[in-house]
A and B are shown apart, each in its own frame.
Chain A
């Protein structure tokens, strides 16, 4: 079956611009996660959705970052007034969610590489 997909695979933007990154989770997965991976580092948690609601957004670095999941499936990560320090690979993952014996196994997408010039 289809895995987690993310678009675009690469995004180059200029400092100060607005960007949107999209994630399509595995069908039937109720939990969705966003991570940011800087060069040479492990992924860093940003936000977690259970269904449509953001259950934990404690990893968002500041109010320029926002994510939505209006219908409980596709999610969009939005970054306003981008800065050079936002350059990283943004990863999305999904899992079955609570109530499943495998609820905490996360499946990752290929990522979106964001470059802010």
Chain B
């Protein structure tokens, strides 16, 4: 079945460092891909999405490009801030039914 594999954490960076969190997927169809973020004590929030190959999702300085040839959707940010500390989840849905999530990557940004 469809699945998502994302980079294991935790990841600790200094403020203004470059961030990459890897995500690869397996799907039989043409899924939509998502990154969700869970800040401490809060619920899941959609960070960005891409619905077809070569689409780039972006929000709050984060970007991810839907790469069909490598079945990847890596999350990047050029300069992280302390406020970006959270758990990040890569996810996919094929027909809008169930969302399949990765295990999550905990990011800690130190000042």
Chain A positions within 8 Å of B, measured between CB atoms, are: 31, 33, 35, 40-45, 48, 55-56, 58-59, 91, 93, 95, 97-98, 103-111
A31 touches B96 (CB 8 A): yes
Are B96 and A95 touching (Cβ within 8 A)? yes
Which residues of B are found within 8 Å of A109, using beta-carbon distances? Answer: 43
- A107–B97 CB distance below 8 A: no
In the complex, the answer to whether B46 meets A43 with C-beta atoms within 8 Å is no
Total contacts A-B at CB 8 Å: 57
Q: A98-B96, A103-B96, A104-B93 are in contact. Are A44 and B43 (CB under 8 A)?
A: no
- Of A41, A59, A110, the residue contacting B103 (CB under 8 A) is A41
Determine chain B's interface SS by DSSP, over half rule. Answer: strand
The answer to whether residues A59 and B98 also contact, given A42-B104, A108-B45 and a CB cut-off of 8 A, is: yes
- Given A41-B103, A41-B104, the answer on whether A55 and B46 have CB atoms closer than 8 Å is no
Residues in chain B near residue A106, CB distance under 8 A: 46, 93, 99
Please report B residues at the A interface, Cβ cutoff 8 Å: 4, 32, 34, 36, 42-46, 49, 51, 89, 91, 93, 95-104
Chain A neighbourhood of B100, CB < 8 A: 45
Report if A48-B43 is in contact (Cβ < 8 Å); known contacts: A41-B103, A42-B89, A42-B102: no
A63 to B5, CA, bound (A): 29
Bound complex: CA of A86 vs CA of B44, how far in Å?
A: 20
Q: Which residue on chain B has the smallest CB distance to residue A97?
A: B96
Given A104-B32, A105-B49, A107-B46, check contact A43 B97 (CB 8 Å).
no
A45 touches B99 (CB 8 A): yes
Contacts of B34 in A (CB 8 A): 105
B45: min CB distance to chain A, Å: 7
- In whole angstroms, how far apart are the Cα atoms of A110 and B36 in the complex? 13
Q: Nearest Cβ in chain A — how far from B68, in angstroms? A: 17
Bound complex: CA A33 to CA B89 (Å) = 17
26 residue pairs of the A-B complex, CB under 8 angstroms, read: A33-B98, A40-B103, A40-B104, A42-B91, A42-B101, A43-B44, A43-B101, A45-B98, A45-B99, A55-B97, A56-B97, A56-B98, A95-B96, A97-B96, A103-B96, A104-B32, A104-B51, A104-B93, A105-B34, A105-B49, A106-B46, A106-B93, A107-B46, A108-B43, A108-B44, A109-B43
